Amino acid sequence: MNSDTSGFKPDAFGTLPKQQEYIPNLKLSDGNEIPMLGYGLGTANSKRGNKDELDQKIVNDTLTAIRNGFYHLDCAESYGNERELSAAIAQSPVPRSKLFITTKTSCRPGESVETAFSRSLSKLGVDYVDLYLIHSPFFAESPRQLQEKWAEMEALKDSGRVRSIGVSNYLREHLEAVLETAKHPPVVNQIEYHPYLQHTGGLLDFLREKGIAVEAYGPLTAVTKAAPGPVDPIYERLAAKYGVSSAEVALRWCLDQGIVTLTTSGNEERLKNYQAKLPMFKLTPKEVEDIAEAGRKKHYRGFWKGKFDEDDRR
C-alpha cells in the first residue's frame, strides 16, 4: 500500500495514477504525501453512547483496518473517538511514523483553533498530526471569519505540530475567500463525492487548478444509501468484467480520477478485499466517464443536507 519505491506520484493538480500493484500515495502541494485510500473513523464508527468509556469495538475495528494495510486514518473531534484512535495507535503493529493521521476541528463558537487542536492532540496521544482540517465552513458568517480561522490554522502548521492543513466541505466561494489571504494554501478539500454528487458547478476543476487535492467521503453512496439508481447496471457490468464487487468499482472510480478516497467498514473481509483487489484493476477513461454520465441523471446528498437546497449540486 505504500509507494516508497516509486518515483511516480499522482498529484493535486490532476496527474492521474498509473496502473500499479499497490494503491499509491498522492503528492500534496506542500510536498507531503497522503495515502490515496483511507479508513474513516466517522459515520459507522462515530462514537455513540457514553463518551467517557472507551468503545472497544471502535479500537478493535481500527486495529483490524491497520493490520489490513489501512495506514491513513481519518478522524475528527466531532466523531467523539479520538481516544479510541489513540488506543489503536498504541497497540498498532505499524509504527506511528508510518501512519497518516487526520483529525478535524469543529470550530466551536468562541474557541480558538489552538485550543481545539491541543485537546485533539492530547486525546490522540501523539505529538503531531499529518493533516488537520476545518470540518466545514458553516461556522463562518463572513469571508473575513473564514480568513481569520485559516490564519489560526497556518499558525499551527508553523508550530510544526501539524504537517499539512486543509479544509472540508468548502465550496468555491469559501476557498476563494481563504486563498485571498492565505500564506499556506489549503492542501486538501474533503468533500462528499460519488456519481450522484459530482459538484457539477465546477468545484473539482477549481480545486485542481489551485493544486488542492480532492478527498472523497461517501464514495459508496450509489451502492448503499442512494441505491437503486442509474449507475447500478454499469457498476454491475464492470464488477463482472474485473471480477470485483460493485463497491470496489465505486472506490476505483474515485481513485482513477486522482481522488484520495475514504471509506470505512466493520467487515474485515471487505477491508481485505479492498487491499487485495483495488490495486489489481483500473477503469479505463471511458468507463470512468460512463459512470459519471449515468450518475449525473440522479442527485443525492447524504451529509450536511440542512445547509443545501434539495437540488443544489455544488
Ligand X SMILES: NC(=O)c1ccc[n+]([C@@H]2O[C@H](COP(=O)([O-])OP(=O)(O)OC[C@H]3O[C@@H](n4cnc5c(N)ncnc54)[C@H](OP(=O)(O)O)[C@@H]3O)[C@@H](O)[C@H]2O)c1
What secondary structure letter does DSSP report for 179? H
Q: Which of 58, 121, 220, 244 binds ligand X (CB under 6 A)?
A: 220
The DSSP result for 9-77, as a single string, is: --BTTSPPPPP-SSPPEEE-TTS-EEESEEEESSGGGS--S-TTS--HHHHHHHHHHHHTT--EEE--G
| Segment interacting with ligand X (CB under 6 A) among 43-51, 84-92, 121-129, 174-182 | 43-51
Burial class (CB in 10 A: 0-12, 13-18, 19+), 233: exposed
| Minimal distance, residue 226 CB to ligand X, in Å | 10
| Segment interacting with ligand X (CB under 6 A) among 36-44, 87-95, 172-180, 282-290 | 36-44
Answer yes or no whether residue 138 interacts with ligand X by CB under 6 A.
Answer: no
> Do 216 and 189 form a contact (C-beta atoms < 8 A)?
no
Bridge-based pairing state of the strands 260-263 and 100-105: unpaired
Place of cell 484493476: 281
| Segment interacting with ligand X (CB under 6 A) among 14-22, 106-114, 217-225, 291-299 | 217-225
Q: Which of residues 90-119 bind ligand X (CB under 6 A)?
A: none
Answer yes or no whether residue 44 interacts with ligand X by CB under 6 A.
Answer: yes
> Do 36 and 190 form a contact (C-beta atoms < 8 A)?
no
**Annotated binding residue 135:** yes
Task: Give SS3 for 195.
Answer: coil
Q: Which of residues 50-89 bind ligand X (CB under 6 A)?
A: 74
**Assigned C-alpha cell, 207:** 480545486
> Do 256 and 283 form a contact (C-beta atoms < 8 A)?
yes
- Residue whose CB is nearest to ligand X in the complex, by number: 40
Q: Which of 10, 24, 40, 69 binds ligand X (CB under 6 A)?
A: 40
Longest Cα separation, the chain: 54
Task: Give SS3 for 159.
Answer: helix
Q: Which of 128, 242, 281, 303 binds ligand X (CB under 6 A)?
A: 303
Q: What is the pattern of x (binds ligand X, CB under 6 A) and - over residues 243-282?
A: ----x--------------xxxxxx--x------------
- Annotated catalytic, 193? no
Place of cell 468548502: 170
Answer yes or no whether residue 169 interacts with ligand X by CB under 6 A.
Answer: yes
Which residue among 22, 79, 235, 274 is the active-site one? 79
Cβ proximity to ligand X: between 15 and 198 the closer is: 198
> Which residues are the active-site residues?
79
Residues annotated within a binding site: 135
Residues annotated within a binding site for substrate: 135
- Contacts with ligand X, residue ranges (CB under 6 A): 40-45, 74, 135, 168-169, 190, 217-221, 223-224, 247, 262-267, 270, 303
